[in-house]
Structure 1
Amino acid sequence: MSEVFTPLCDVDPMSERIKVKARCVSIWHSHAPDKPTPVWSLDCVIQDEQGNRIQCTIRKDDMPKYEGLLQEGVCYRISNFGVGENGGKYPLLKHKYKIVFYKNTALTRIDSFDQNNKGFKFEAFTDFVPGRINEADTVDIIGTIVSLGDLIPFNNHGMTSRRRILQLEDVEGNQLECCFFDGVADKFNQCTSKRESSGHVVVIVQLGKVKYWNGKPSVGLHLYSSKIYVNEDLPEVTTFKQRYKKKDCQDENEFKIALFSPTTYVLTPKNFFKGATKKIVGAIRDSYDEYTCVIYAKVHKIHKEYGWYYPACKKCSKRATLSDASASGSKASGSGGRRKFWKCDTHGQLNGVVYRYKIIVRVIDEFGSASLVLFDNMVHKLLNDTPCWELMEKYHYAAEDVFPSEIDVIVGKKMLFKFSYTEFNITNNNHVYQVKMLSDDREMISVFKEGFLSVENEEDQELDKQAKDVAALSGPDSDNVDGGEFVTPETVKWAGKTSEGMFGYSDDMKSLKAISGGSAGDGSSGSGKRNIIDLDEFNEEEYDAKRAKQPDGENQPEVQVKIEKE
């Protein structure tokens, strides 16, 4: 009579005296991050003939008995075990339960039940959409590298780390992004130096972790369980290369790995001014309704009393706050103080945070002044791509009121600011506005002034040739800022000329027209000569006689009253 084995998907706490038959896919020791000792447990992932997976845990006291018996790629019959909840903050698999070894758990080696010795279970790249493959799911993927990025250093809780992004392509031509860190990222150094001669470099990620950034999927590695194979001598790699070569009859000798560069957004006058009304600073509050506007103003001062950075959630970039647990705990590496525990209103408890720029500046033009909020990506560009963590390190994670002198270079810059005047500003009489885009590009400024402002000054003529355009994709009422870069092309010809019908002139400019004699949008002071008359010396009869001698219809000189200070 043949043995009856329970599929791993049916393992639950109510089952008794069940036996399973499965292959060991991955083995690892669980311990605290960056602290290999003490070891908490010996863990493994097993997979049955149907491709179902479950995690097994062997407690520290029982590790000596099983550590020498378990091997990756080997099949086993397992019986007399317990079933526990697959809990923890970040469970590896979606299975609700896990197998727990007892001291008397029977672990018997058996013959392989298939030829899939590594236990791969590859997912199609087209399935990487929310609903099919969700964030934090564990997946196996295979693909060839089509583009490879350089190592990018970054700050990781006070320590310098590095990451690398690459693009994999499957045999159907679908692409998927992967992101690897530190030692794993270094595996691709040779490929980077030999992009044009490496040929097809096939990568397999087993038990990888899925993340979605702005809806775009990315695969990385779990802390201990994931495995990565780069051009290794495996049947799966050989088969993939053969299938990929048949795609469009590609010659491997002619295949070159491209340099990966993040997708950039080209900012043009058309999309910068889209849906916006041109305004002078003094007229921002003139409306009783919500609207989006663009102003041209100079940064007068920085409100240093409000700080220059904030701790942000890594997932949504919203402000993170210290949890009650921060009062106790071990000392944090790199900070010199006790370890801090953070929480996010959206994502709850956090393992860590990132620090992002957030500064409030006072801008000014000839008609008024206003306070604007600039977030991380904007300040990053204005400081010549200096990341926030770099200044944090330089100033030893000092308090927010310790203001870096490097940020003072923003003061005096004159540029365009695009933001929304919202219902919140109106009802709460709160007139600090969150900037959505900014630009000091000459062409952008010319478009703004066209038909609106005609007065030039020397400062405008000395604008920096290295113009930058930055945009925050967040809405006006959120604290999150996306990390996308915005680039202004050197030559962009805008087909649609600025007109009153396109952007709409504000009432303040129409009033200027009445005063100056120019058009509502040209900002001209008029061509008529102005006479300043001291009323104490003014001879009214003589003045009336001169006016009577002038022909009808001729422009009369304007009179500006001079008022003496008391």
Structure 2
Amino acid sequence: MSKLTTFVPLTKLRPFKDNWRIQVKCLHSWKQNTPFAGDTFEMVLADQWGNKIHATSKRSLMQRIQRVLPIDSWGVIEHVTVTPAGGQYRTTNYKYKMVIAEDAVLSRSDLVDDRIFISLANYEEIENGTKKQAFLIDVIGRIHDLGDVQTVQVSGEDRKRVLFRLVDAEGNNLACCLWGTYAEQLEPFSLNGKDQTIICLIRFAKIKEFRGELQITNAFDATRLFLNAMIPEVSNITQRLSNDDLSVVLVPKPSGKKDGKRILYNWNDAEIKTIAEVAEANQVEICKIICTIEAIDTDWSWFYIGCNRHQKRVLKIPKVDYGRMTKKDKPMFRCELCRSNINTVGPKFKLHLVVKDDSATCNVMLLGSVGKSIVGVDAEELWDGSYEEIEDPDILPEHILSLVGKSFCFGISISSDNVTNGSDTFVVLEVCSGDKVLTIQTDSQSNSDMVTTSSTMSSGSAMMLDQISSDECPTPITKRKDDDCDLQDLTSSSKKQCTKIIKEEKIKND
């Protein structure tokens, strides 16, 4: 059996480097086509500790991956990249997803573990709307009130559909609608007798509102359906669900839908919100927050290598592919916008910060010139000149470490990824200031001098905050994380906050 100590738990994967080595089980895989990514091959993977992650690759790598890592088998993958997880229906609640590229090394594993790592959702949480609809769920129940499999017209095409209700062991029930091949799997039960007991496990299902009622349905091909399956992990639940005397509790239908109108503001008119209000926002907008930097999130590198012309991230080309290139002392990179191999590249700021106010904590990201406006110098001045991956992300330039404890007015974007998909990272579009926004002094220069580099607030909207020493929270955030790989990811409501309170001075109204 493979030694667990030789593999990294999925919860330890971070974007600052690519040379990770993991041992995983493929829980599901499917082909997908989207307008932005085109044809891709998608997977849900789990490790020995039960951690799960979504993985994606180009369709051209599908056969190679399937040979080594078919569904329900274990394998080893070396050299993978992780990026922020997004999308409206996410298969796991982990904040990152894995990208398997051409240079990934795949091999079979000798690990034997038949667990399927299910995480069953609670019916009551689904019914009362507290279960986030941005995530796919696992749900099990006894099929009740099974309808006929019908063929209906959807966007001019014929599709099969079946409607029924799922009942849990307490008698709570949920509306269900399955489409296509999933409906076809229930066709024999629909034709040969609807009175028989059918225990249904739906994996990676989505919650959708239809005619004022929340229902469970398949998420295109990302869903797996098990009917009367003998699964050790749910054998006790299956036995309880098989009780013929199980009664059904009628659940009243919720009324109405949330208003999802998009509201945009000019920066001068943008509302100043607390972080708690930002976290609870239910519409796309821009706003301003007055906050203090609590920590540097060293899950990420503080910079990326980008094209000097387009400022976009570039892909490093192995030296064996250089051909007749003469500049051996500098690696070559591929820029998709230039559509050529280039070496006119350099470091660009990509700062991931944990910020707080009196109400809550959240994550923000500052790119390029916005990052420079608070650091005060170009990224190239802080860079050590190496194009190799960072091995220790906790080693940071002093200019960046000194940001901890300083306060700023950030103009942020609350995007659809935050509202709909549950992303807890907000992009800083501007570092706002007026004539007297901040009076925090540093050894080299005042913050008010630095933030005016990207100022957009009028002088009449000045905000002032007392100085907070950078000695309060000088440690990057990963140094303050527990090493237990089974712990839940930190969220905006659970991250450790500095104990010192930010004092806000009163604003005089003219």
TM-score tier, shorter chain, comes to 0.3 to 0.5
Give the TM-score taking structure 1 as reference length: 0.40
More helix per residue: 1
Structure of greater relative contact order (alpha carbons < 8 Å, 6+ residues apart) = 2
Give the TM-score taking structure 2 as reference length: 0.44
